[in-house]
Amino acid sequence: MNRKNIDVDTVTMDLFSDSASSDRGLLPLTGKSTLELLRRWSDAGLLRRLDVALAAFVQEQDPLAAPCVLVATALLAQMEGRGHSCLSLRELAAAPVALLGWSEPESTAVESLWSMLPPNLDEWLRALSATRVVRVVGQVPDQGQPLVLAGTDGDAPLLYLRRYWGHERLVSGHILHRSQAKGDSVDPAQTRKWLELFYPTISGSKECNWQKVACALALRGRLAVITGGPGTGKTYTAARLLALLFATAPDADHLRVSLAAPTGKAAARLKQAIDGALDDLKSQVGSALDLSALVQRVGAARTLHSLLGARPDTRHFAHHAGRPLDVDVLIVDEASMVHLEMMSALLDALPPDARLILLGDKDQLASVEAGAVLGDLCRDAQSGQYNADTVAFISQVAGETIPASYLAQGQGAALAQQTAMLRLSRRFGGPIGQLAMAVNEGNVPEALSVLRECVAKHGDAAEIAFHEGGSVYQVSSLALQGRGGTASYAAYGQALERWPEVLIAADVPAAHSTWVTEVLMAFDRFRLLCAVRNGDWGVAGLNRAVEIALERAGHIRRGGEWYAGRPVMVTRNDAALGVFNGDIGIALPSAAEGHALRVYFLQGEDLRSVGVTRLAHVETAFAMTVHKSQGSEFEHTAMVLSASAGAILGRELVYTGITRARKTFTLLAERPGLLAKAIASPTRRTSGLPRFLDSLLCDPG
């Protein structure tokens, strides 16, 4: 969070001193004085105004609520804004500074306040249980209270905003039901025949084929969770799973298949990857299976918002339990980006007998909004935790032997039996892969060693590069010129300059379409990724710097907000226009008379455009946050670490940035030590979903 440089005394807490006699010390906290302090923290940039507003609402609903209840409410809202679905009360009571991640002098302000709050967890729980704005699960009936307190009978009670409590209950209920539900009856001999055709045995190989395992597990039930890093073949596996379902379904001609992803870019990539994998499979299956019919049956991939029928300016969707989706098989890619509320809506709208396949990398950044659903679902993925009956089923239908290290010591969870982790990467075998692995493991010395050795051997032409310190000018120069011949915005700029050639072409519309596609594809070869939005080393500052560099080079000419060549990212879903949050397009002159600017989007091989005046919610996209880059890949990815990022700099952020690079990766840090700090700081989101899945927090009614 950005801190404002204002004169606010949050350390000595003079707020509670007698203005006429400041040496009298601190007065007891009241609801009014607590709210005033929280407002000061908001003015100082420590809290959002929304956080304080929620605390004020609670105080209005219950004027007798203890000061600690107001503090807990404000910090619950604060943590929700950081992606947590709930607040750990044990950490709040015992280690607030560590929980909040504030540094000096803010931590001193926290410690000062906590000296006036309940000294232990039990007293916090008593205060929260005593107010009418909190529903205590298992003790207080549901009367629409805005806050929910769960797990008071255990050692880790959690405080929720009512909405997220409901979403976690719904998601866990659906997941448990689906993970326990049986799939259609399976003919083991027939299934094994098809899997052997799809995955020919490699002579001499003794390694477990986890892709075959994933296909087998998915066939067994109504849910499959397939996780793995870049290059492990998640969509490749999904395509073969579709072919397997098509081959074994009793009524394959009527099989309804849908593809979806959180963003338009990810959806387009999913469709392209699935179609490509099915086309490649044709040579293996020959006439045994009509894969062309399956390709036709799999329609265009859609964003989750589009699939569910997002209603403008509401949280509601056209599809829900009362009006379910018309689908038999749903594949959702980039599931790590699916936040808790969206997963709740998706599961609610999915027919009970439909098959859900979630694809994603559990080690990537979680969603921008609250929740880390895929990470919670994949908690056993690394260790497997397969039961004996699961192992026997895999052996029977896939002919694969699960290594003993992945067997459950007791009874493995039902969800673990429907989860497969792909462990062999076919993309990252070089320095990028080595760096990603070291970062994912939290191995700072190894990560730094990989970076330094690669640069020492290959210089600017190295597959990976690392720069600490320097200036924004150096970053913008890299964006414009690349390094050692790597991809940059130079090709995009050169493509823009070919506009006059379009105007004199014999067939202007055809030449225009070719040119627009060229510009879009050239732009997509390189991208700057940032940890933060604001500041010189954030999205805003670097967008300005790159614009200036491109204009000086003569590639663009800015004459206002909109100019030819401006790349933009859509920041709000607009179903009427067919654009969704995360879609990236470029403003270019149209082929029509007058050549009015339109924003062109490339979706697969299809071009579509929207007039610039109709796009109200967009931002310039030479640079983007790492979060927004998920679901995308670039030939050359440059990631920028800002010194002002604070707790945002974490292991998952760095790992996600690295794995956006196909061929070349460049890391630029504003100050020395930022990379090491980030790798050593794994991101952890508080969630009650794992305990829900273990049935420990189920509402008794």
Q: Token pair of 235, please?
A: 């969509």
Distance CA(233)–CA(625), nearest Å, equals 25
Residues 6+ away with beta carbon under 8 Å from 268: 301, 602, 603, 604
Q: What is the pLDDT of residues 464-486, one digit of tens each?
A: 888 888 889 999 999 999 888 88
pLDDT score, position 300: 79
Beta strand extents in 576-650 (DSSP E only):
584-589, 597-603, 606-611, 618-620, 623-625, 634-641
pLDDT score, position 203: 60
For residue 19, pLDDT over 80 is answered with no
pLDDT score, position 451: 87
Helix axes 388-398, 210-220, angle to 10 degrees: 110
pLDDT score, position 427: 65
Phi, psi angle pair for 429, to nearest 5°: -105, -10
Q: Are 246 and 255 in contact (CB under 8 A)?
A: yes
Distance CA(24)–CA(410), nearest Å, equals 62
Q: What is the pLDDT of residues 428-441, one digit of tens each?
A: 668 888 888 889 88
For residue 18, pLDDT over 70 is answered with no
Q: What is the mean pLDDT of residues 122-128?
A: 93
């692995």: which residue's tokens?
437
Q: Are 240 and 435 in contact (CB under 8 A)?
A: no
Q: Are 419 and 228 in contact (CB under 8 A)?
A: no
Counting DSSP H helices and E strands in the chain, the numbers are: 28, 20
pLDDT score, position 68: 93
Give the C-alpha distances (Å, rounded to integers) separating 343 from 328, 338, 424, 571, 575: 18, 6, 28, 20, 19
Q: What is the pLDDT of residues 277-302, one digit of tens each?
A: 888 888 888 777 877 878 777 877 88
pTM: 0.80
Give the C-alpha distances (Å, rounded to integers) separating 333 from 336, 362, 538: 9, 12, 28
Mean of all residue pLDDT scores within the chain: 85
What confidence tier does 303 reach under pLDDT thresholds 50, 70, 90? confident
- The pairing of strands 661-669 and 464-468 is parallel
pLDDT score, position 695: 63
For residue 698, pLDDT over 80 is answered with no
For residue 425, pLDDT over 80 is answered with no
Q: Are 482 and 683 in contact (CB under 8 A)?
A: no
For residue 511, pLDDT over 60 is answered with yes
Q: What is the mean pLDDT of residues 665-690?
A: 87
Q: Are 228 and 334 in contact (CB under 8 A)?
A: no
């986890």: which residue's tokens?
210
Q: Are 367 and 191 in contact (CB under 8 A)?
A: no
